[in-house]
Amino acid sequence: MSDPASTAAAAAPATEPQEGSAAPQTKRPADAPASADSQPAADKRTKTEHYVREADVGITEYVLPGWTGFSAIIKHRFADFLVNEIDAQGRVVRLTSYTAVDDPKAPPTEEEMAVAALGVPEDGEAAFARGVEMLGEILGSEDAERIREHLQPKDTDAEAGAAADAEAETTDAGLLLDRSLDKEQRRAVYRVTNNFFGTAVRVDTVDGQLRFARTGRRAAAGERGGSKKPQQKRSRGWGAQWNHVGDHCHFVLQKENSDTMDVVQQLAQLLRVNVRAFGTAGTKDKRAVTVQRCSAHRVAHERLQQVSRRMRGARLGNFSYGSGLRLGDLAGNRFVIVLRFVEGADEGSVGAALESVRERGFVNYFGLQRFGSHSVASHEVGRAALRADWREAVDLVLRPRVGESLAMEAARALWAAGDVAGALEKMPPRGALAERAVLRRLLSKDAGASKNWAAAFAAIPHNLRLMYVHAFQSLVWNRAASCRVREFGVERAVPGDLALRRGAGQLTLLSPDADEAEEGAGAEEGAAAEEQPQQRVPRQQQQVELVTEANCHEFSIFDVVLPLPGCSVTYPGHSVRLVYEQTLASSGLLLETFGTQGAREYRLQGAYRHVLTRPRDFEHAWMRFNDASLALARSDSQKIEGTHEPESIAWGEHCALKLAFDLPSSAYATMMLREVMRRETASGHQSARRAPTGASEAESAALPSTAAAVAAAAADDDDDDSQQHPLPPASSSPDSALLKRVSSLPGSLSILRAHLTNPEFHMAPQYTRRQALVMAAHEPDDTWAYGAILLALTVVVFVGAVYALAVSKVMPHTGVAVLDAVKDDHYYCLLLPVSALSFVIAVFCNWLGMKYFRHN
């Protein structure tokens, strides 16, 4: 199956601007990197792959030998994947109430108590008079009168007063009180001045004596000492008093089928605050129901409760106040995962495999989410960036790829054809942050911008650029871990290993973008695209030891770590070191200088990561069900709303396995599932796994690639809870008949492919998808047949109508006599309305027939 993006690119040559055209096309420079369409045939075959496979990123080894695994569907519904954050104190974060508030009020400051006791008036003139009166009680009436005369505003008119104040700022040397005050008196003067005069008066000490001077600034409306006239630009800090403990409101966020940053952006828009006001301990998977803590700087819980009702796919609750959250402020995540349609193994053997994972753990690979889900993986972009090959990096970001929306395919095809301006115009408004940033930079008016590839790549947000290079680090680590397991096994530490002593603490990534959730930032390019509002976590330097013959008995296999490549890490002392050298060398990089050259942001320090990890609090249960649309696990919001716990049906047709466990931060649950199931965890493999539910395996194997894709799409129930349907047996599924019809008709493969690669199509109900596929398969190439049928129906109805008109006059006559009778009796004047009526009847009959055909 050819790539629609490349087909479109080939069919869209870069035309030269015509004379008199409104605006010439912006062409990609002649020295731009070659597009995917100009690559060799082998590269084109690679580009048609829909997803990155495990072996492509070094994921090849297992812990339990001899186990063949079983098949099941992961995330048949996004509600089959529940994630609850575990905070730094080891507590599982739960959403238990939409309204509960833990809000101890902050004790009032000394100044606030003094102001409350004095009863400060809001009116500016009254506040000034009251302030002078209070100074008189401290300094005496004579000094207070001098202060009043010196500080009294010269003009009450706003514009004239502002001019007078500006002049006073340059000419006022200040009023110096000829008397000495003790410390307590000076503090009282400062307090009164600040509370009643605001920023309009400055008080300082000169040789132990107080000096009062006008600052040239008039107190703002609402500020003590200011007028009641509305100000043009309101101070952010004044207004409602913030008297909570801590500057941040903490809340528990439950989101469904949404990216963490998308929800944060939605919150920021509804509250009209900067996205940087929010903090999270980590990003969570999109295709799941996740619960995590968030913080909002100086946003009261009442406002959060109000906007929570207007949010889509998210709920807020359990409000409290404290310091802000930073990336990495968590210990791990609690998972509840439902595997549906389990086949290929009995309960006893699966239970033994689960017990092995509980005791022996699994290889702590970086999951496929780290590398992206498209044919152009994130680590490829990172490799080009680390080589400072900016042309290649830009081209990889913009290169056409399979499986995206139609708008993205069109935009990438325009880029491949050389139309930079057209590509930017076609880019969807949401997502594609990296692509839009690069294209805008290439189109900027700066000198040489169209050829400045380094500047174009640098236009991508900082966190997203780091995601690319960290993905390359993860690739190197995965390959090193596979070599360690393959060469030395998983039973014990061996000489040459690096180990962290027990009790030294859980290793965390030194890099600030650690994948805190099982499928954290980096699963999609847009997931980490927006600038994170959190501050970076201080780097935790971990002390590792080199395992030798003398001390190898002091370490277990769970103490063994491997480094992510960088300039501040130690490498193992055995053959695994060669994997680092060879992988970097094949990418044009050197181990000795890795992380020390290039731009500062790409000077990587490195990190350490455990080779094996084990789940904690591991539980499993078998369930049987009939209706695949029914939930088998309860989310926190469902518990609040009183939804009953799903129960297993004793004689259910299908089998499911429900797992619950804890994993440390940056560990991937899909890698644990891989160890148990022994199946590819790539998203494309899961889609293919659904194909036999819509057609038998023999039928799927015999069909062409497009028809097989139709089967997968038609049988795919996606993750929309409102559109879930049970999966019928393959032999009785209506998808089988659909598949046969679609595969037997030529149809338009381009339109079929357009449907299958459009995410919006896959979010539609199953019946709608089937109907669209049938229509796409028939309509384009069979239009001539429908036209012929319509013409024939029209002729038949017309002849019948004419005959009916004539037969009442010439019953004995036939053939030509009928036409003569029409002419002689002047019935020809009725031919036009009869023709129109014939056409309408024919159209209706044709529509009725097509409706019946498509329905069946």
pLDDT in tens, 142-162: 888 888 888 776 544 444 444
User: Does residue 525 surpass a pLDDT of 50?
Assistant: no
**pLDDT value at residue 184:** 75
Last residue within a domain, chosen from 662, 684, 706: 684
Q: Could you give the C-alpha distances from 813 to 344, 599, 799, 801, 818, in angstroms and in order?
A: 77, 98, 16, 16, 6
Q: How confident is the prediction for the chain on average, in pLDDT? A: 73
Q: What is the mean pLDDT of residues 82-98?
A: 94
The string of DSSP letters for 532-550 reads: PSSPPPPP-----EE--TT
**pLDDT value at residue 823:** 57
Instruction: Kindly report whether the global pTM for this prediction surpasses the value 0.85.
Output: no
Spatial neighbors of 443 by CB under 8 A, at least 6 apart, are 26, 420, 421, 424, 449, 450
**pLDDT value at residue 733:** 36
Are residues 750 and 730 part of one domain? yes
DSSP 275: G
Length of the chain: 856
Q: Is the Cα torsion angle 786, 788, 793, 794 positive or negative in sign?
A: positive
Alpha-carbon distance of 749 to 727, in angstroms, equals: 26
Are residues 631 and 711 part of one domain? no
pLDDT in tens, 764-815: 555 455 555 555 554 444 455 666 776 777 777 777 766 666 665 544 444 4
pLDDT in tens, 316-327: 999 999 888 988
Q: Which residue has the higher pLDDT, 625 or 205?
A: 625
Are residues 772 and 700 part of one domain? yes
User: Does residue 589 surpass a pLDDT of 80?
Assistant: yes
For residue 284, count other CB atoms closer than 10 A to its CB: 29
Q: Which residue has the higher pLDDT, 141 or 727?
A: 141
Q: What is the mean pLDDT of residues 826-832?
A: 59
Are residues 701 and 739 part of one domain? yes
Are residues 732 and 704 part of one domain? yes
Token pair, residue 846, equals 């044709």
**Among 520, 367, 524, residue whose Cα is nearest residue 435:** 524
Contact, 612 vs 557, CB < 8 A? yes
DSSP 277: G
Q: Which residue has the higher pLDDT, 32 or 45?
A: 32
Alpha-carbon distance of 535 to 276, in angstroms, equals: 9
Alpha-carbon distance of 77 to 152, in angstroms, equals: 71
Is 205 part of any domain? yes
**pLDDT value at residue 472:** 94
CATH of residue 264? 3.30.70.3160
Are residues 248 and 99 part of one domain? yes
User: Does residue 539 surpass a pLDDT of 70?
Assistant: no
Is 305 part of any domain? yes
Q: Please tell me the least confidently modeled range out of 619-628, 691-700, 833-842.
A: 691-700
Alpha-carbon distance of 558 to 615, in angstroms, equals: 12
Alpha-carbon distance of 387 to 655, in angstroms, equals: 50
Is 758 part of any domain? yes
**pLDDT value at residue 289:** 96
Q: Which residue has the higher pLDDT, 339 or 718?
A: 339
Are residues 101 and 248 part of one domain? yes
Q: Please tell me the least confidently modeled range out of 383-392, 576-585, 691-700.
A: 691-700
**pLDDT value at residue 19:** 37
Q: Please tell me the least confidently modeled range out of 127-136, 476-485, 523-532.
A: 523-532
* Domain span including residue 257: 89-106+243-328
> If DSSP codes are grouped into helix, strand and coil, which group holds residue 351?
helix
**pLDDT value at residue 350:** 94
- Give the catalytic positions in this structure: 285
**pLDDT value at residue 285:** 85
Q: What is the mean pLDDT of residues 688-692?
A: 50
Alpha-carbon distance of 451 to 594, in angstroms, equals: 27
Is 201 part of any domain? yes
Sheet holding 607-610, edge to edge: 545-546, 498-499, 560-564, 607-610
**Among 689, 709, 700, 691, residue whose Cα is nearest residue 1:** 709
User: Does residue 843 surpass a pLDDT of 60?
Assistant: yes
Last residue within a domain, chosen from 623, 655, 684: 684
Are residues 210 and 114 part of one domain? yes
Q: Which residue has the higher pLDDT, 121 or 631?
A: 631
Are residues 194 and 261 part of one domain? no
- In degrees rounded to 5, what are phi and psi of residue 359? -90, -40
Residues above pLDDT 70, as percent of the chain: 62
Q: What is the mean pLDDT of residues 187-206?
A: 77
**pLDDT value at residue 668:** 94
**pLDDT value at residue 549:** 94
Last residue within a domain, chosen from 214, 234, 251: 214
Q: Please tell me the least confidently modeled range out of 101-110, 398-407, 419-428.
A: 101-110
For residue 109, count other CB atoms closer than 10 A to its CB: 10
**pLDDT value at residue 35:** 39
pLDDT in tens, 445-490: 776 777 889 899 999 988 888 889 999 999 999 999 999 999 999 9
Is 705 part of any domain? yes
**pLDDT value at residue 776:** 55
Residues above pLDDT 90, as percent of the chain: 30
Token pair, residue 186, equals 């000076």
Can you list the positions of beta strands (E) in 57-174?
71-74, 81-87, 101-102
Total domains in the fold of the chain: 5
Is 46 part of any domain? no
Are residues 731 and 710 part of one domain? yes
Q: What is the mean pLDDT of residues 267-288?
A: 89
User: Does residue 760 surpass a pLDDT of 60?
Assistant: no
Is 374 part of any domain? no
**pLDDT value at residue 488:** 96
Query: Is 705 exposed, middle or buried (CB count within 10 Å of its CB: 0-12, 13-18, 19+)?
Result: exposed
Provide the pLDDT confidence category of residue 348 given band limits of 50, 70 and 90.
very high
**pLDDT value at residue 685:** 62
**Among 29, 733, 21, residue whose Cα is nearest residue 395:** 29
Is 138 part of any domain? yes
Are residues 711 and 679 part of one domain? no
**pLDDT value at residue 276:** 86
Alpha-carbon distance of 104 to 92, in angstroms, equals: 23
Are residues 210 and 140 part of one domain? yes
